[in-house]
Amino acid sequence: MQINTEKKNGLLRNPCPPPHPGGSTPAQPNHAPLSRVPTISTSDPRSYPIFEVSQFEYLGLILEPKLTMHLATVEAICHASQGQALALAVSYSLRYDKNSSQLAPTQNLGLWKSIVLPHFLQNLRYIHSDTDIKKMQTSLNLSLARVLHVCGDHTGLLADTGIPPLQLTRYVHLAQLHFRVTITRPDTLPALLFKKLNSSLPLPNLHTSTLDYHIRYATHAFKVDLQTDPLPDMTLQTTKNRERAFRNMMRKTISTLWRGQLYNAARKHTVQSPRRKASYIRIAHDDLQRLDLFKPAQFLRIPHN
């Protein structure tokens, strides 16, 4: 309101010049009339300069003008480090507490998944840079290995604990979002905007850095057709149950993809020279046949007393 008042006073103090005596008006500079408003002096106690912020927080997500999500990645890693410190502190205190016993590996894993893992997964769908995802993956691997006191190649650790690579987990989250805006909640404002912006554009015409592209690619790459309901037998179920069923379906699809990547890596290393990754996959071959690799291996699901 103060800025508008200053503009109005400036126009009143600088009215349009009267007509020229000869009947013609003098040449006017080629700019808008408001450009004659004098610059608001910052020395005036009633005026406040407006600065453009370099970042801001929206619903816990750090955003910057170009939406590169680099700051969101740094924030996720920072919070995950704080969660790791908390998990280690709890484990350490219980280890030397006379009234309790040391945590079993299954308990340490559950503690880490409840405190640290959510920070990596919360906004994963919005991270579109491969470099940022690799940074988060490295931080996740080191954090999990430190809490479980494991060293060496992280492939076996991730497979045994049921934590697929973040790039593959991201596909599940994006496919869930696509399912939500097209099938289960098509009448919401985000769904209407998504439909309006994407109904007439083929996938190759979208920029690869946009969220719309990654949402559609997540289902297109795995041949999941969302033009029709992929779960027609669950039409009468609640929205929550339908979304959970679709998530489980996508997890099985991603598990098949990850299993194939592991076997291909094992063959490649076997031809070159036997390494830990190839040895692990050969030993855990039967266990890797489970349908859902998002669940821990059998020996980590059995409680150890």
For 182, residues 6+ apart whose C-beta sits below 8 A from its C-beta are 191, 194, 195, 226
CA distance 198 to 192: 10
Each domain of the chain, given as residue ranges in start order, spans: 67-166, 169-289
Pick the closest to residue 136 from 125, 152, 147, 148 (CA basis): 125
Task: Give the pLDDT confidence of 267-283 residue by residue, as tens digits.
Answer: 776 555 557 778 888 88
The amino acid present at 190, given as its one-letter code, is P
CA distance 76 to 70: 10
Residue 47 CB neighbours (<10 A): 13
pLDDT by 10s per residue, the chain, length 305: 444 545 445 444 444 455 455 554 444 444 444 334 445 555 677 777 788 888 888 888 888 888 889 999 999 999 999 999 999 999 888 877 766 677 888 889 999 999 999 999 999 999 999 999 999 999 999 999 999 988 878 888 999 999 999 999 999 999 999 999 999 999 999 899 998 888 778 888 888 888 889 999 988 888 888 888 888 888 888 999 999 999 999 999 999 999 998 888 777 765 555 577 788 888 888 888 888 999 998 888 776 55
Task: Give the pLDDT confidence of 204-235 residue by residue, as tens digits.
Answer: 888 888 888 999 998 888 888 888 888 888 88
Task: State both tokens at 143.
Answer: 């954090």
**Angle at 83 (CA atoms; ends 110, 293), nearest 5 degrees:** 40
HEC assignment per residue over 42-108: CCCCCCCCCCCCCCEEECCEEECCCCCCHHHHHHHHHHHHHHHHHHHHHHHHHHCCCCCCCCCHHHH
Phi and psi based region of residue 62 (left: phi greater than 0; alpha: psi -120 to 50; beta: remaining): beta
pLDDT at 66: 85
The amino acid present at 216, given as its one-letter code, is R
| H helices present in the chain, as ranges | 2-13, 70-95, 105-115, 117-121, 130-148, 154-161, 166-179, 189-198, 211-220, 239-272, 276-283, 298-301
